[in-house]
Structure 1
Amino acid sequence: MVLDAYTYVFAIGSCFALLEAFNNGANDVANAWATSVSSRSVTYRQAMVLCTIFELTGALAVGARTASTIKNGIIPASAFGDNAGVQLLAFACASAGASIWVMWCTRNSAHVSSTYALVSSIAGVGVAAVGAKNVQWGWSDGSGLGAIFAGLCMAPFISACFGAIIFMIIKLSVHKRKNPLPWAVWTSPGFFLIAGTVCTLSIVYKGSPRLGLDKKPASYIVAVTLGTGFGLCALSALFFVPYVHAKVIKKDHTLKWWMIFQGPLLFKRPPPPDADTNTKSIVPDYAVIQETPAPDTDSIAKEKLGNASGDDIKAVPVAVDPHVDNEKGAIGLEYTHAQYQKLLKDATKRHHANLRLQKGPLGWAMRVLHVNKLGAGSIHETHNMIALVKRIPAQIVVALLYGTQYDIHTAQVGINNSPEGRRMERVYAHAPRYPNEVEHLYSFVQVITACTASFAHGANDVGNAVGVWAGMYAAWSTGSPSQAKAEVPMWQLGVTAAVICIGFITYGYNIMKVMGNKLTYHSPSRGSSMELGAAITILIFSQYKLPVSTSMCITGATVGVGLCNGTFRAVNWKRVGLLFFSWVMTVPIAGLLGGCLMALAVNAPHW
């Protein structure tokens, strides 16, 4: 009977642990890739593929390092004595508390840290299970709550410094030049050097014990790290530099992607005769613009928008402060709350209408849901039961594929004349736009930095997510509390990383649509600096087994790069404040959820 109870609790706890991993992907990973997608360096689909590859690689190579801190650093194994059941129940409640809170936040596009939600939930569970005195509140050799929560302040600041330093190097060496394009081309291998070195160092320095990397001498670490970094730098100089030289300097619009393998021969490739006069766009337009059309000031008073009760609502012209809302001081148009919500709903309806025109599985599913709407009456009415049965397969398809077709760029722009839209316009006005040809070059670099950031997330956050699951598995399989030195099974790391990727692919758009461009102006050169600064910070923390929030790191780096525009006005401080508020509130709420669940479970009547 005891084993049956253990199995029951382990099954429930495993579901919540995987749900927490799913939320981690939908929240933290989405925030990490929002920079690349917002900068238009990669599409959402490309981000999905690259995320899957590098999250798995980072998790399997480095990911177990922070798992021991989550599993035994907050509540020592000795606190449970010989009672494996209490430890198993504690980790199950911790996963439940964290996953419930983060899922609610993700569903409502509220950005929180899944790492600190889990840590706070474990702390709350510890108080309920073994008492506050047995919870490691202090530093505890770098694994206690004091060390973990120190990252709440240190990680964003350190990321901001790294991101700002990297972007200032780009700004001074490239953007400030009279002719920045050649400088951008010839200095680009340096970013491949940095990215390759950072990734390799994270693997070989205190690396995977399974590969024996944790016992290698310093000379081996230096040789492998620098060898890989300079090797990648040399490859980029041989193949990448000639390719972008022909594409952006010679303006060769006949160049194909596979010609990159011609390497230095591309320097001798003559530009086409119409290179300077061809109207075909050589590079995309990376300028972030307000894509929502502004309302007509002459006809807006005649436009009528119906609210839920059928009343007419009119947009009201209001005087706009020239120092606050725009530079012209023109008469603005203030939307009411009902109008603003209707505009958002109309945008969603247009998006769904476009999806219904597609020929793939998602288009079929959207058409089925549109045709088979629930009718009048209760759910048990015959026509509603039939519609519900028809909708179930379509709803499954939509849940799996809806995120792959979500228009992130349209969702990130602000509605004109709304408070958010005007705030974003003011922020963008303080950020200089650099030539598209230069930004196009850094879009390639940003792919590397985004992959580095995803690798860093896999190395850190997968260990955080798998820690409680590994503790539950050890207690269930052995019948005794999990030991501090117990090894995390490789299959658990792989499954957790896969679930994180699924969360990003299917649900990450909820966070991506409110991140990225709504913090500061984005472009590939800025985005690559943000991602590389965050990746370096995450890898430093993971080397010392300190769980840190990827969300906090990328947010800190974003603010740091935004300040490099030379003014505080280049950052949307209201959005930053909301993010910080959500981080702070995560600690007590997740702690209370986990602690209350544990208190109810431990003190429930039993026989």
Structure 2
Amino acid sequence: MAKSALDKDLKKVVRIEHATQDLTRSLTAPGLLILFLIGAVALASLSVASGPLAYLVVIAAVIAAYMALSIGANDVANNMGPAVGSRALTMGSAIAIAAVCEAAGALIAGGDVVRTISRDLLRPDAALPAIHFVLVMSAALLAAAAWIHLATFLGAPVSTTHSVIGGVIGAGVAAAGVKMVVWPVIGTIAASWVVSPVMGGLIAAALLGFIKWRILFQKDKVAAARRWVPVMVALMASVFAMYLATKGLSRVWKAPVSLTLVLGAAAFAAAYFASQPWMQVRGRRMENRRKDVSALFTLPLICSAALLSFAHGANDVANAVGPLAAIVSTAATGETSPDRVELPFWILLIGAVGISLGLALFGPKLIRTVGEKITKMDAIRAFCVALSAGITVLVASALGLPISSTHTAIGAIFGVGYLREFLTNKGVPNPAVRPRTLFLEPEKLNKTPEQAIANFRKRERRKLVRRQHVLGIVAAWVISVPATAMLAGLFYAVMAAFAG
């Protein structure tokens, strides 16, 4: 009897412990968010001298922190989704690697796009008071953050760059009319809706096709892998060396074109010769199976995902802190003169921490969408997606074409998915066009009509890309700019009314 009572008491204690742990986990995210926002307020308060616009800078710092959280929750999934979907990384490992690389990229090389966000979109004249320029940028940030937050909740990867640009345009028009906006930028953005996913998809499909024909479709896959995997690894090293030189490190070091090409060639040679002995050792333990060949791409995939995260942190942190930098500059000088925008370390710190925290707390949903729900990933397909993203950015930059990293990555995923679907269904009859012999001359097939129909249905075309995600994602891309523009215009009107 005493033992039974003791067991009941112990079970109650265990239930209380579990309930306490669940409560602690549920309070962790709100607690971290509150601490982060308080930290942003403290940094802004300590870094900005007192003045008539100082309180607006503090408010803008909170909005920028919200924007950074939204970017981390949505945009980073493009880099880590394929790696998680292919099982090359666990969700926890992907978040840890991405958080470190994103923060490092933002703090070491971040801010090169601040000029575009804070200067190239708007040309405010002297008639626009400083306070209204501050309100324009604050409304743009808030609208973009709210839109990205909604897209993340709905599971749609959107371009954070396009979101903040739409916000700046909408608030600018609300403040001073259409003359305030540099409208050719809109044409560039619209072009990137097509250029980015198409280029990303074609390059990713070409890479996957090359690997399939040169390695996976060969009779001796091990020998083919020994020959071509070092070449693919070297290509990855070369592309990302040039990618970092032209994009990832452009704020701290601008390499000339000739030096960038030399770096790419040197990285190719170094990676090729370094991977040869590694490939020979792995090759001796491999079986002549696709699974074993696919495992060879796991380490290169992880490296490419980390490098993409570093470059993303360096470039896209400006989407969160670019308008804030313009606000701080205007508050300090009292003039709407974006030509003199600087990027203090405390502003970069808000962007870096916010992106990493947003990824850790809210990123898994979009990571699963990108990595698992569009098409099935393995290490080879995910490697092609990551390498395609780097190549697309390099090619587009060289040709002067507009590009979106989000659209490029999603386009690459669709590219490998549709190639797989095409190869899988090659030679399979289209169920929409049934051959006449199926019904009129089944005796020629040595089958009864019922057997012929059953056999035909077994061979119907497989769909390896989920079509419902195509329409949803494309719709979110198209409406990002007008949606954030309208939101920003509304937010500006409200803010201007309160500001008097």
Coarse TM-score class (shorter-chain normalised):
0.7 to 0.9
CA 475–540 in structure 1, closer or farther in 2 if over 3 Å, else same: farther
Aligned equivalent of 2:335, options 465, 480, 499: 480
**Counterpart Cα distance in 2 of 1:225 and 1:557:** 22
CA 516–203 in structure 1, closer or farther in 2 if over 3 Å, else same: closer
**Counterpart Cα distance in 1 of 2:196 and 2:178:** 27
Is the contact between residue 199 and residue 455 of structure 1 (CA under 8 Å) also seen in structure 2?
Answer: no
CA 470–165 in structure 1, closer or farther in 2 if over 3 Å, else same: same
**Counterpart Cα distance in 1 of 2:487 and 2:143:** 5
Shift of 1:131: 0.9
Aligned equivalent of 2:232, options 187, 191, 202: 191
**Counterpart Cα distance in 1 of 2:398 and 2:496:** 36
> Aligned runs of 1:582-593 on 2, under 5 Å?
582-593=476-487
Instruction: Tell me the amino acid that sits aligned with residue 299 of structure 2.
Output: F
CA 47–539 in structure 1, closer or farther in 2 if over 3 Å, else same: farther
Secondary structure class of the residue paired with 1:178: coil
Shift of 1:39: 0.5
The residue aligned with 1:93 is 139
Aligned equivalent of 2:380, options 525, 531, 548: 525
Is the contact between residue 121 and residue 182 of structure 2 (CA under 8 Å) also seen in structure 1?
Answer: yes
Secondary structure class of the residue paired with 1:515: helix
The residue aligned with 1:248 is 286
**Counterpart Cα distance in 2 of 1:505 and 1:185:** 38
**Counterpart Cα distance in 2 of 1:70 and 1:539:** 21
Aligned equivalent of 1:155, options 162, 186, 196: 196
| Per-residue deviation, residues 78-102 of structure 1 (Å, max 9, x unmatched) | 4365732222111111111111121
The residue aligned with 2:406 is 551
Shift of 1:601: 2.1
Shift of 1:532: 1.3
Secondary structure class of the residue paired with 1:512: helix
Instruction: Tell me the amino acid that sits aligned with residue 448 of structure 1.
Output: C
Is the contact between residue 329 and residue 342 of structure 2 (CA under 8 Å) also seen in structure 1?
Answer: no
Shift of 1:529: 0.3
| Per-residue deviation, residues 104-123 of structure 1 (Å, max 9, x unmatched) | 23234343332222111111
> Aligned runs of 1:448-459 on 2, under 5 Å?
448-459=303-314
Secondary structure class of the residue paired with 2:274: helix
Instruction: Tell me the amino acid that sits aligned with residue 266 of structure 2.
Output: G
**Counterpart Cα distance in 1 of 2:421 and 2:499:** 63
| Per-residue deviation, residues 182-231 of structure 1 (Å, max 9, x unmatched) | 322442222332222222213334885665x43x5544333233223322
Instruction: Tell me the amino acid that sits aligned with residue 202 of structure 2.
Output: C
**Counterpart Cα distance in 1 of 2:194 and 2:89:** 31
**Counterpart Cα distance in 1 of 2:317 and 2:212:** 34
Secondary structure class of the residue paired with 2:341: coil
**Counterpart Cα distance in 2 of 1:587 and 1:206:** 24
Instruction: Tell me the amino acid that sits aligned with residue 417 of structure 2.
Output: G
Q: What's the TM-score once normalised by structure 2's chain length?
A: 0.75
Which is worse superposed, 468-477 or 120-129? 468-477
Aligned equivalent of 1:600, options 488, 494, 497: 494
Is the contact between residue 330 and residue 336 of structure 2 (CA under 8 Å) also seen in structure 1?
Answer: yes
Secondary structure class of the residue paired with 1:161: helix
**Counterpart Cα distance in 2 of 1:156 and 1:492:** 32
**Counterpart Cα distance in 2 of 1:11 and 1:574:** 42
Is the contact between residue 456 and residue 535 of structure 1 (CA under 8 Å) also seen in structure 2?
Answer: no
Q: Tell me whether 1:126 sits opposite 2:162 in the alignment.
A: no
**Counterpart Cα distance in 1 of 2:197 and 2:103:** 25
> Aligned runs of 1:358-373 on 2, under 5 Å?
none
> Aligned runs of 1:42-81 on 2, under 5 Å?
42-60=89-107, 62-76=109-123, 78-79=124-125
Shift of 1:42: 0.9
The root-mean-square deviation of aligned C-alpha atoms, in Å, is 2.8
Instruction: Tell me the amino acid that sits aligned with residue 476 of structure 2.
Output: S
**Counterpart Cα distance in 2 of 1:490 and 1:544:** 33
Instruction: Tell me the amino acid that sits aligned with residue 481 of structure 1.
Output: T
| Per-residue deviation, residues 300-321 of structure 1 (Å, max 9, x unmatched) | xxxxxxxxxxxxxxxxxxxxxx
Q: Tell me whether 1:26 sits opposite 2:64 in the alignment.
A: no
Is the contact between residue 214 and residue 224 of structure 2 (CA under 8 Å) also seen in structure 1?
Answer: yes
Instruction: Tell me the amino acid that sits aligned with residue 195 of structure 1.
Output: M
CA 605–460 in structure 1, closer or farther in 2 if over 3 Å, else same: closer
Instruction: Tell me the amino acid that sits aligned with residue 248 of structure 1.
Output: M
Instruction: Tell me the amino acid that sits aligned with residue 147 of structure 2.
Output: W
**Counterpart Cα distance in 1 of 2:251 and 2:144:** 30
| Per-residue deviation, residues 464-484 of structure 1 (Å, max 9, x unmatched) | 332212212212233322423
Q: Which consecutive residues of structure 2, in runs of 5 or more, have no partner in the other structure? A: 1-48, 426-462
The residue aligned with 1:165 is 206
**Counterpart Cα distance in 1 of 2:295 and 2:380:** 9
Shift of 1:456: 3.4
Shift of 1:150: 1.8
Q: Tell me whether 1:498 sits opposite 2:392 in the alignment.
A: no
Secondary structure class of the residue paired with 2:98: helix
Q: Tell me whether 1:222 sits opposite 2:261 in the alignment.
A: yes
Secondary structure class of the residue paired with 1:188: helix
**Counterpart Cα distance in 1 of 2:113 and 2:85:** 30
Secondary structure class of the residue paired with 1:484: helix
The residue aligned with 2:243 is 202
**Counterpart Cα distance in 2 of 1:104 and 1:155:** 23
| Per-residue deviation, residues 334-353 of structure 1 (Å, max 9, x unmatched) | xxxxxxxxxxxxxxxxxxxx
**Counterpart Cα distance in 1 of 2:256 and 2:155:** 47
Instruction: Tell me the amino acid that sits aligned with residue 392 of structure 2.
Output: T
| Per-residue deviation, residues 258-289 of structure 1 (Å, max 9, x unmatched) | xxxxxxxxxxxxxxxxxxxxxxxxxxxxxxxx
| Per-residue deviation, residues 401-444 of structure 1 (Å, max 9, x unmatched) | xxxxxxxxxxxxxxxxxxxxxxxxxxxxxxxxx72111111222
The residue aligned with 2:160 is 114
Shift of 1:9: 1.3
The residue aligned with 2:290 is 435
The residue aligned with 1:463 is 318
**Counterpart Cα distance in 2 of 1:229 and 1:153:** 31
Q: What's the TM-score once normalised by structure 1's chain length?
A: 0.63
**Counterpart Cα distance in 1 of 2:358 and 2:390:** 20
The residue aligned with 2:390 is 535
Is the contact between residue 112 and residue 315 of structure 2 (CA under 8 Å) also seen in structure 1?
Answer: yes
Secondary structure class of the residue paired with 1:581: helix
CA 585–15 in structure 1, closer or farther in 2 if over 3 Å, else same: same
Shift of 1:538: 3.7
Instruction: Tell me the amino acid that sits aligned with residue 488 of structure 2.
Output: G
CA 149–209 in structure 1, closer or farther in 2 if over 3 Å, else same: same
CA 134–474 in structure 1, closer or farther in 2 if over 3 Å, else same: same
Q: Which consecutive residues of structure 1, in runs of 5 or more, have no partner in the other structure? A: 139-143, 251-433
Q: Work out the number of aligned pairs and report it.
A: 413
CA 553–577 in structure 1, closer or farther in 2 if over 3 Å, else same: same
| Per-residue deviation, residues 478-530 of structure 1 (Å, max 9, x unmatched) | 33224235343355334413321221111101212333222112111111101
**Counterpart Cα distance in 2 of 1:36 and 1:217:** 32
Aligned equivalent of 2:465, options 568, 571, 577: 571
Instruction: Tell me the amino acid that sits aligned with residue 590 of structure 1.
Output: T
Secondary structure class of the residue paired with 1:49: helix
**Counterpart Cα distance in 2 of 1:561 and 1:478:** 51
**Counterpart Cα distance in 2 of 1:93 and 1:113:** 18
Instruction: Tell me the amino acid that sits aligned with residue 92 of structure 2.
Output: R
Larger helix proportion, structure 1 or 2? 2
Shift of 1:604: 4.4
**Counterpart Cα distance in 2 of 1:20 and 1:547:** 23
The residue aligned with 2:44 is none
Instruction: Tell me the amino acid that sits aligned with residue 593 of structure 1.
Output: L
